[in-house]
């Protein structure tokens, strides 16, 4: 009778390496290291793809903080585990190099000063350096430095942080100094959030500025069209409110374009003006005066009763221009000045 794979091989296996236990129970799909469930990754392929995916989705800056924070928190877990298992801090620290090299984290040397709460960790052939080499990245890895900061934060029971003194992927060497500090991953996360918020604000401000510029340019193009009626008569419709910038653009555009039309009569249509102020009056007076210098006559049309009351109330002066109630009357007047008339269609 054929045997199943479980019958051909031992389903349970236990190995002690450097004082650390590895246990398998293939009948249950269990693999354990030091009594806890673990799994294996190929560093330069599957695990690299895993980390690449995080960086691609979150972006390099955010990914660095994710790895740093995750490293720090796993370091706290490790320190708690071995403090509870071994108890003595000095003995726990002495045990760590064998534990980490056995677990595949690289050859680790620890030079520690417990009184000063300082440590220098030197790692060769670390998994993070191998991943960076496989990625072709020259950026510093953040997981292991953050991890060792977390380990010693837990062991010394005070905030510890890292300084990478050497990170050479060509020699597969990583050297990290751990010292007491006020810095925590929470501070870095808060700084990142603030930077991201500031970047978003700057992006929005840039979008608003670009949109405002586009709208301003559009308004400049459409706010002061010169509409020829005949060879010598033009109409300039004025619409909306004119601030200092818009008034300046209006004057510049009009005074530049008017001579090209060779007009004799300029009709300023104020039908689209809902309110009037001294700035508006100043612009109109400048338009009228400039047109007069070009030898042109100016007609003002479309001044509503409300605008008339406003002009009277504030004692605004619009010079010696001729006024008409609507555009139709002004055009009839202009035609008559030119010796022309508009013939109404005959009634059937």
Q: Is residue 4 part of a domain?
A: no
Q: Residue 121 corresponds to which tokens in the numbers above?
A: 């960790």
Residues 228, 148 within the same domain: no
Residues 31, 69 within the same domain: no
Sign of CA dihedral 56, 53, 47, 24: positive
Residues 50, 146 within the same domain: yes
pLDDT of residue 124: 92
Q: Is residue 157 part of a domain?
A: yes
pLDDT of residue 192: 60
Helix (H, G, I), strand (E, B) or coil at 151: helix
Q: Is residue 1 part of a domain?
A: no
CA distance 145 to 151: 10
pLDDT of residue 255: 83
Number of domains in the chain: 4
CATH number at residue 254: 3.30.750.24
CA distance 163 to 179: 8
Residues 66, 140 within the same domain: yes
Q: Residue 4 corresponds to which tokens in the numbers above?
A: 């199943």
**Which residue in 8, 3, 48 sits closest to 26, CA to CA?**
8
Final residue in a domain of this structure, among 175, 201, 221:
221
Digit-by-digit pLDDT tens for the chain (348 residues) are 555 555 556 788 899 888 888 999 988 899 999 888 998 888 888 989 998 998 888 888 788 888 988 999 999 999 998 888 887 889 999 999 999 999 999 999 999 999 999 999 999 999 998 898 888 888 888 899 999 999 999 999 999 999 998 776 566 889 999 999 887 776 666 666 676 677 777 888 888 888 888 877 776 666 668 889 988 899 998 888 777 878 888 888 888 888 888 889 999 998 888 777 878 888 888 888 888 888 889 899 988 887 778 777 777 676 677 888 889 899 999 898 888 877 666 665
Give residue for tokens 């002690």: 16
CA distance 122 to 112: 11
Residues 197, 154 within the same domain: no
**Which residue range is the domain that position 238 belongs to?**
223-337
Residues 87, 204 within the same domain: no
Q: Residue 65 corresponds to which tokens in the numbers above?
A: 């903080």
Q: Is residue 347 part of a domain?
A: no
Strand order in the sheet with 30-33: 12-17, 20-25, 30-33, 36-37
CATH number at residue 173: 3.30.1380.20
Residues 208, 265 within the same domain: no
Give residue for tokens 């709460």: 117
Half-sphere exposure of 83 (CA within 13 A, CB side): 14
Output the CA torsion 103→108→114→117 (10° steps).
-100
Number of CB atoms found within 10 A of residue 114's CB: 12
Residues 73, 120 within the same domain: yes
CA distance 306 to 313: 10
How far from 343 is each of 139, 332, 340, 346, CA to CA, in Å?
Answer: 83, 10, 10, 9
Residues 157, 92 within the same domain: yes
Q: Is residue 348 part of a domain?
A: no
Residues 65, 98 within the same domain: yes
Residues 157, 269 within the same domain: no
Final residue in a domain of this structure, among 183, 202, 237:
183
Q: Is residue 204 part of a domain?
A: yes
CA distance 273 to 286: 17
Hey, which residues does 37 pair with through a beta bridge?
32
Residues 208, 173 within the same domain: no
How far from 128 is each of 79, 125, 139, 172, 175, CA to CA, in Å?
Answer: 20, 8, 11, 10, 13
pLDDT of residue 347: 61
Angle 321-308-267 from CA coordinates, rounded to 5°: 35
CB 173 within 8 A of CB 124: yes
Buried b (16+ CB within 10 A) or exposed e, 45-66: eebbeebeeebeeeeeeebbbb
CB 115 within 8 A of CB 52: no
């Amino acid at each position: 009778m054929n045997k199943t794979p479980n019958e051909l091989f031992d389903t349970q296996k236990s190995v002690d390496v450097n004082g650390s236990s590895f246990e398998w129970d293939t009948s249950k799909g269990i693999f354990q290291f030091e009594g806890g469930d673990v799994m294996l990754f190929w560093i330069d392929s599957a695990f690299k793809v895993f980390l690449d995916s995080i960086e691609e989705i979150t972006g390099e800056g955010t990914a660095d903080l994710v790895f740093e924070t995750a490293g720090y928190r796993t370091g706290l877990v490790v320190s708690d585990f071995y403090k509870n298992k071994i108890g003595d801090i000095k003995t726990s620290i002495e045990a760590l190099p064998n534990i980490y090299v056995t677990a595949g984290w690289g050859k680790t040397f620890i030079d520690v000063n417990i009184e000063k709460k300082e440590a220098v960790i030197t790692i060769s052939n670390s998994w993070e350096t191998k991943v960076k080499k496989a990625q072709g990245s020259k950026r510093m890895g953040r997981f292991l430095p953050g991890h060792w900061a977390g380990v010693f934060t837990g062991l010394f029971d005070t905030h510890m942080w890292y300084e990478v003194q050497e990170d050479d992927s060509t020699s597969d060497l990583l050297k990290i100094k751990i010292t007491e500090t006020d810095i925590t991953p929470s501070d870095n996360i808060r700084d990142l959030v603030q930077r991201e918020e500031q970047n978003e604000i700057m992006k929005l401000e840039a979008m608003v500025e670009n949109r405002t510029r586009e709208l301003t340019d559009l308004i400049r193009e459409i706010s002061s069209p010169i509409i020829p009626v005949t060879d010598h008569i033009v109409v300039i419709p004025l619409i909306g409110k004119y601030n200092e910038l818009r008034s300046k653009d209006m004057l510049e555009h009009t005074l530049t374009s008017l001579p090209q039309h060779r007009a004799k009569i300029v009709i300023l249509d104020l039908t689209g003006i809902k309110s009037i102020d001294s700035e508006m009056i100043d612009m109109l007076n400048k338009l009228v005066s400039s047109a007069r210098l070009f030898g042109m006559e100016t007609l003002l049309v479309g001044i509503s009763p409300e605008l008339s009351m406003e002009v009277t109330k504030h004692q605004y002066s619009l010079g010696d221009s001729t006024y008409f109630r609507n555009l139709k009357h002004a055009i009839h007047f202009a035609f008559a000045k030119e010796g022309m008339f508009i013939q109404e269609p005959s009634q059937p």
